[in-house]
Structure 1
Amino acid sequence: MKEEWKRLLQLFWTFFKIAPVTFGGGFAMIPLIEKEVVEKRKWLKSEEVTDVFALSQSVPGGVAINSATFIGQRIGGIKGAIAAVIGVSFPTFLIVLTLGISYFVFHDHPKIEAAFLSIRASIVAIIAYAAIKIAKTAIVDKSTFAIMIIGIPALFFIHPIIALLTGAFTGIITISIKKKLGYKAKKDRKEKKKKDENEPVYYSGTGV
């Protein structure tokens, strides 16, 4: 019981620390979650966190809340999900409440406007960094690279949910075709290195 409460407190505190920087719809928290959950706490693997982010974007709700819910449930069950959601929600609630109260006093102040302008620019950099980090685990062969290349311009014309569903459907078809052709479907980048130490294996449709 003591260990369980300790884990719940760790989940709460981890997301409590991350929450104040969840500008940009929660995408800015992705590198921080990976650092805390994967590198520091070692609760999940990098590939698992990438799957959580993909799933969080494919269901209704904010990325921050959804990610906290999935990760909390994975680590501590229902109680873990509740602890993570409270942790990620509480700081945001306090910040929004404070900003809402002070908005009518400071919203026309030049320095405040300049600060928010810089914050928006910084968030773009953080989201780009998160995209690069996720790409390192999500792009494992030529087929996943092709899906990314096609998906980026497609997002300008179709809804993100449709893009995710299309990507999932394309992945299922791609893996099925590879299996029928006798090729090995990679699940992560490390797999190729491990296999190369033992025997040659085909990892993509071109036999690379």
Structure 2
Amino acid sequence: MTHDERAEKAFLTRYLQESRDALVWKLDGLGEREARLPMTPTGTNLLGLVKHVASMEYGYFGEVFGRDPGVPMPWLEAGAEDNADMWATAEESIDWVREFYVGAQSFGDRTIAELELDSPGIVPWWSPERRDVTLRQIIVHLIDETAHHAGHADIVRELVDGSVGLRPAVSNLPDHDAQWWAAYRARLQAVADAFGG
């Protein structure tokens, strides 16, 4: 492996890990009930988002490159109910989902370390014209997917208990009190209402 490829892998892996971390910390401090609360009409919930992203890592870094993670995922098997990867059963605790995701990350990191960025893979669930890929493409795809779901998790966590931000110590929001935010939200509501109901 060349120095340039090592540097590119490190760069891509850093962004992937930042998205992973942004997603998983959204579970911090929550109880089993709060982590499972369906906060949208389609049932989006924090624990399900983490379970889904972990499942994606196993699939994209595993099956796509002919690597068996050796981890059963019955929610992805033929005949599983729709959306079974988007929520956690009563037996799948917060700790279980966290460990499942830690395992997925370790498996993904091994795949990245052991393969070249141009290593070919096949995504069988993509359309025929798109399914031939490289490891580089899959890493970028997973950065995008993980960041996408971390954004969902940020909004869901805010709906659950008001916690927001990229990392526990970095909210990326102006530092104002609840009164300021209530006035801000009211102003946005007034602008929206000006366009009719």
TM-score, normalised via structure 2 length = 0.32
The TM-score with structure 1 as length reference comes to: 0.30
The structure with the larger Rg is 1
Which structure is richer in relative contact order (CA contacts within 8 A, separation 6 or more)? Answer: 2
